[in-house]
Structure 1
Amino acid sequence: MSLHPELETFLELITLGRMSGQNKPLHALSVEQARVVFEQTSLVLDPDPPKSITVTAVLIPTRDGKTIRARLYRKTGKVSEKLPVILYFHGGGYVVGSLDSHEGICRRLAWYGDFAVLAPEYRLAPEYRWPVAVEDALDTANWLSKQGAAFDLDSAHVVVAGDSAGATLATTLAITSVKHPDWMEVKPIAQLLFYPVTDTTRLRASHRDYGKGYLLESETLEWFYQHYVETDQRSHWTISPLLISDIPILPPTYIRLAKFDPLHDEGSAYAQLLQTHGTCVQLTVENALTHDYLRMGGIVDEVDNIYKETILWLKSIQSQLNF
């Protein structure tokens, strides 16, 4: 299957811009420039996310005495209901991305389902290198366990979720909840992983085939990793969960990939690893899309169906758990 027509047109415009000296890839920019460019893409990719969402600002304390911002999203009309929670971590290679860049994703997840969505703004590299992002994720989960009830959140029914590097943080929490239960008070009921980073130590065929010209580029990935972590640390399971030596059985897992994505092969390998070791996995590949499609609701109509299908899967998990 070929690229989705609207997405192909969008990529052609990017290519034309580069030929004229504009639209440089993120790895050709400074960190500050890359962050600005990434934020601006949200205005193009998803300019009109659902409006009937109540958004509450939250401050979450971290283990080093600081606080990080977070946003809590819930469908208007369900403000006073106690709701299960999707704990969502934005993508961006640990270097770019923010609450604003992924506002549309969080609004759509809250709109299509009967979940509240809690999105923390974990600290980014290179100012904060590994393991700060992981620690911020853990601190957010433990805050949710202690303080969730004050915000009408059901911390007994939490789904960890994210896209790209954010999906890596989500699966790190899922692994931690089983492997090191004393580190984390929340016990996720499921995980949603959209085009996750699972192995930062090597390149696979999808890097060769789709590592340039398909939005996310392999050189950009390497640029992210160099800012985030030392080379000799990349095999740690919180950075490259595919390389974990003793993967436990994890909560039911929903993995959704893109064919035209350098991360496709490692995401597929991670799904296989989980299945082989006893985790229930739902794997879907979007055969006409690229990395970052969750943020493309404004240019690819089919993205709405991805959210709807994701929520249907979550409802099936709720049904199995009888809540």
Structure 2
Amino acid sequence: MSLHPDLEAFLELVELGRATGKSLPMHEQSVEQAREEFELSALLLDPAPPQDTAVTPLQIPTRDGARLPARLYRAPACQNQGPVILYFHGGGYVVGSLDSHDMVCRRLSQATGYAVLAPAYRLAPEHRFPAAVHDAHDSACWLADNAAQLGLDARRIVAAGDSAGATLATLLARTAALQGADAGFALAAQVLFYPVCDASVTYPSSRAYAEGYLLEHKTMDWFYQHYLDTLGKREDWQVSPLLAADMPPLAPAYVSVAQYDPLRDEGLAYAAFLQRGGTPVHLREEKGLTHDYLRMSGVINGGVETLYQAAAHWLRQQG
């Protein structure tokens, strides 16, 4: 299937901005510039997210004494002592924030009827690997410990995220499976939107969609240069979960990849890897779309809402 026409028109505008010198690829910017531009993109990609959602600011303590800002989202349909999605934003561990993915959390809560807890894990290069992994684990433990007080069900925690955030979610799923009660939390499911799964090699989709499809191959390298202090850490399973020595059955997984995403093939490979380990997997390839489609409700007319609803339908089937 060809690119969605709305998305194709948007990408043409992006390319025009580069050709006229009004914008640069992320990997040619400073970290500060890239973060600022990524934040501003949220206003363009989805300028009118649902507003009838209660948003509560929170603070999550970490193992090293830091406190992570977080937000708890509750759409009107959320039940007291109901399920909760622990959501990690994308951005290659370098960009992204609570603000850049505010619309995603609002729309997820609206579509699913689940509360959504979004922690602002710390970013590189100020906080390199494994800081984000530790922050994700600490957030999951804190949520499990405080669920009842927050009006949430600790038995129905779903780890979710997009891009690098999806990687953090699936790392939590593996930790929960390997450590059991010692993990400090349990998961009912995991929802992975275009996850980053293998930094060690270049997949065919990364070559085919290396430029011109929002996320670019050189940008991925730029992310890893800031996130990792040595090249060899790309083969660490906490960076590349597809390289884990073994994969026990994990919480049921919803895996969604985009057709025109450089990460598509590693996402497909990871879904197969989970299945071989005994994890129930529901795999979707979103035709005509690129990376970051969750944030594009203002670009793709009517198309993104169906993707939220598809994930919500799967979650309802999990009970």
Q: Do Structure 1 and Structure 2 share a fold, with TM-score over 0.5?
A: yes
Q: Note if contact 2:77-2:110 (Cα within 8 Å) is conserved in structure 1.
A: no
Query: One-letter code of the match for 1:271?
Result: A
Q: What is the CA–CA distance in structure 1 between the aligned matches of 2:253 and 2:130, rounded to whole Å?
A: 24
Structure-1 residue corresponding to 2:163: 164
Q: What is the CA–CA distance in structure 1 between the aligned matches of 2:279 and 2:57, rounded to whole Å?
A: 35
Q: What is the CA–CA distance in structure 1 between the aligned matches of 2:298 and 2:176, rounded to whole Å?
A: 36
Q: What is the CA–CA distance in structure 2 between the aligned matches of 1:201 and 1:22, rounded to whole Å?
A: 33
1:149 is paired with a residue whose SS is coil
**Correspondence 1:218-257 to 2 at 5 A:** 218-229=217-228, 230-257=230-257
Query: How far did residue 92 of structure 1 move?
Result: 0.1
Structure 1, unaligned stretches of length 5 or more? 319-323
Structure-1 residue corresponding to 2:68: 68
Q: Is 1:2 the counterpart of 2:2 in the alignment?
A: yes
Q: What is the CA–CA distance in structure 2 between the aligned matches of 1:133 and 1:199, rounded to whole Å?
A: 17
Q: What is the CA–CA distance in structure 2 between the aligned matches of 1:20 and 1:145, rounded to whole Å?
A: 50
Structure-2 residue corresponding to 1:276: 276
Q: What is the CA–CA distance in structure 2 between the aligned matches of 1:70 and 1:278, rounded to whole Å?
A: 33
Q: Is 1:261 the counterpart of 2:242 in the alignment?
A: no
Structure-2 residue corresponding to 1:307: 308
Structure-1 residue corresponding to 2:317: 316
Identity %: 54
**Correspondence 1:106-125 to 2 at 5 A:** 106-125=105-124
Q: Note if contact 1:141-1:184 (Cα within 8 Å) is conserved in structure 2.
A: no
Q: Cα RMSD between the aligned structures?
A: 1.0
The runs of at least 4 aligned residues of structure 1 exceeding 6 Å deviation read: none
Query: One-letter code of the match for 1:303?
Result: V
Structure-2 residue corresponding to 1:188: 187
Aligned residues between the structures: 317
Query: How far did residue 184 of structure 1 move?
Result: 2.1
Query: One-letter code of the match for 2:304?
Result: V
Query: How far did residue 213 of structure 1 move?
Result: 0.4
Partner deviation per Cα, 1:234-276 (whole Å, 9 max, x = no partner): 1111110000011111111000000100000000000011111
2:224 is paired with a residue whose SS is helix
Q: What is the CA–CA distance in structure 1 between the aligned matches of 2:220 and 2:197, rounded to whole Å?
A: 12
1:234 is paired with a residue whose SS is helix
Structure-2 residue corresponding to 1:146: 145
Q: What is the CA–CA distance in structure 1 between the aligned matches of 2:43 and 2:245, rounded to whole Å?
A: 41
Q: What is the CA–CA distance in structure 1 between the aligned matches of 2:124 and 2:6, rounded to whole Å?
A: 33
Q: Note if contact 1:176-1:183 (Cα within 8 Å) is conserved in structure 2.
A: no
Query: How far did residue 21 of structure 1 move?
Result: 0.7
Query: How far did residue 277 of structure 1 move?
Result: 1.6
